Amino acid sequence: MANICPIKNVADLVSEARRVYRETFDGDDAHVAVCAPGRVNLIGEHTDYNEGFVLPMALPMVTVIVGSKTFGQKCCVVTQTEAADEPRVVHFDLPNELTPLLRGQPNWANYVKGVVQHYRARPIPGFRAVIASSVPLGGGLSSSASLEVAVYTFLQQLCPDDGDQVAKAVACQQAEHTHAAVPCGIMDQFVSVLGKEGHALLIDCRSLEATAVPLADPGLVILITNSNVRHSLTGSEYPTRRKQCEEAAALLGKKSLREATLQDLEAAKDRLKGVTYRRARHVIEEIERTAQAAEALKRGNYKEFGRLMVESHNSLRDNYEVSCPELDELVAAALEVDGVFGSRMTGGGFGGCTVTLLQAHATERAVEHIQKKYHGSPTFFITTPSEGAHALSL
């Protein structure tokens, strides 16, 4: 179909990475291969670090790593992804108790180093590895979480841990905190580890328990539209939002906004500054909306699900202020198309992608209409809920 990007298949990514491995390491072949998916969040935005609900699904776009263990403490990693203008090869020594593995250059390698540092079993052997990915970089589809989880899955093949999947996601989240300096929640790493084919995951970010919700209807399409813009606010605004939520929870006398109700918020309205009130309002309502959306999905009520998606977008735009004109334009255009149930920005915001739920027969019409109405150059992907990280046979 016109204008829809094909998604590279995993086997092609593996062959490409193996070829680069042979070229880089004197004709040797890699012994291990793994992959970990990116994600799209259907609803439940900026709720994970407030201990709320999120409803993401794992994508068919993945990060692949091929490699082998070596003898000694040396590691060499090569990336095939468009790593800006950075060098594509990095060398480092394994960490030990006296010498942790610190952040450095190139930037992409910090995700690798962070996971090596936080890996939950020892001793990790030295290794050589090549990374290839089909997750668009910086597009709000969790290219970084998929890289972290792929690295962790790769290390599991070299030095098995206890197999605790939730602890794995938490270790990857830690890597992002310490080595990428992003105080993210648990959603992206969790779904990259535990995603289930044909299902979205309702994750309770307080208990870290997840329920798989079936989402494999041939009459339904999940369309991702990349705005292909990234605003520079991304870095500073995320930690600011997190702080504002913590401040709001403290003012309400709660451990987190998950514990607060709209009644609590209204009762404290004069103690909360306008901005703090609006941030808290988004989170409290979005947590409830996500629970309702999961119920609607279980019943196959896409109309209701779509309505909640639109409410979510409007709240992210007006109360949480993480949308941008490009995302608003994409959502507005999608909602003009007959057969579209709902549309919203997805991920952290300030650019990146929207996600749209629509009837399969309306796809071509929707893509053409969005393309015509949007002032930038969008990229489209038709996606299906996919499996979490796993090893691949070579």
Residue nearer to ligand GAF on the CB measure, 187 or 367 = 187
Residue carrying the six token digits 């490699």 = 67
For residue 162, what are its two tokens? 């206890």
Residue nearer to ligand GAF on the CB measure, 32 or 115 = 115
Residue carrying the six token digits 């608003």 = 328
Q: One symbol per residue from 69 to 108: x for binding ligand GAF (CB under 6 A), - otherwise; what is it? A: ----------------------------------------
Helix intervals (H) in 182-301: 187-194, 234-251, 262-267, 274-298
Residue nearer to ligand GAF on the CB measure, 256 or 363 = 256
Report DSSP state, residue 394.
Answer: -
**Piece in contact with ligand GAF (CB under 6 A), picked from 46-54, 124-132, 271-279, 301-309:** 46-54
- Cβ(327)–Cβ(351) below 8 Å: yes
Report DSSP state, residue 147.
Answer: H
Helix axes 143-158, 165-179, angle to 10 degrees: 120
Please report whether residue 51 would count as binding ligand GAF according to CB under 6 A: no
Residue nearer to ligand GAF on the CB measure, 93 or 209 = 209
The sign one gets for the Cα dihedral 159, 71, 108, 150 is: negative
Please report whether residue 45 would count as binding ligand GAF according to CB under 6 A: yes
Short-list 50, 305, 60, CA closest to 195: 60
Residue nearer to ligand GAF on the CB measure, 129 or 284 = 284
Q: State the minimum distance, in angstroms, from the CB of residue 343 to ligand GAF.
A: 16
Determine the Cα–Cα distance for residues 40 and 140; give it in Å rounded to an integer: 8
Short-list 120, 118, 121, 88, CA closest to 106: 88
26 is catalytic: no
Residue carrying the six token digits 């105080």 = 183
For residue 230, what are its two tokens? 């990234």
- Cβ(205)–Cβ(187) below 8 Å: yes
Catalytic option among 188, 204, 270, 318: 188
**Piece in contact with ligand GAF (CB under 6 A), picked from 41-49, 124-132, 303-311, 313-321:** 41-49
Q: Tell me the number of residues near ligand GAF by CB under 6 A.
A: 11
- Cβ(54)–Cβ(209) below 8 Å: no
* Of 36, 42, 48, 226, the one binding ligand GAF by CB under 6 A: 48
Residue type, position 147, single letter: L
Q: State the minimum distance, in angstroms, from the CB of residue 201 to ligand GAF.
A: 14
Residues between 162 and 201 that touch ligand GAF (CB under 6 A): 184-185, 187-188
Residue nearer to ligand GAF on the CB measure, 46 or 199 = 46
Residues between 334 and 363 that touch ligand GAF (CB under 6 A): 347-348
Please report whether residue 380 would count as binding ligand GAF according to CB under 6 A: no
Q: State the minimum distance, in angstroms, from the CB of residue 130 to ligand GAF.
A: 25
Q: Which residues are catalytic?
A: 188
Instruction: Note the residues at the interface with ligand GAF (CB under 6 A).
Output: 41, 45-46, 48-49, 184-185, 187-188, 347-348
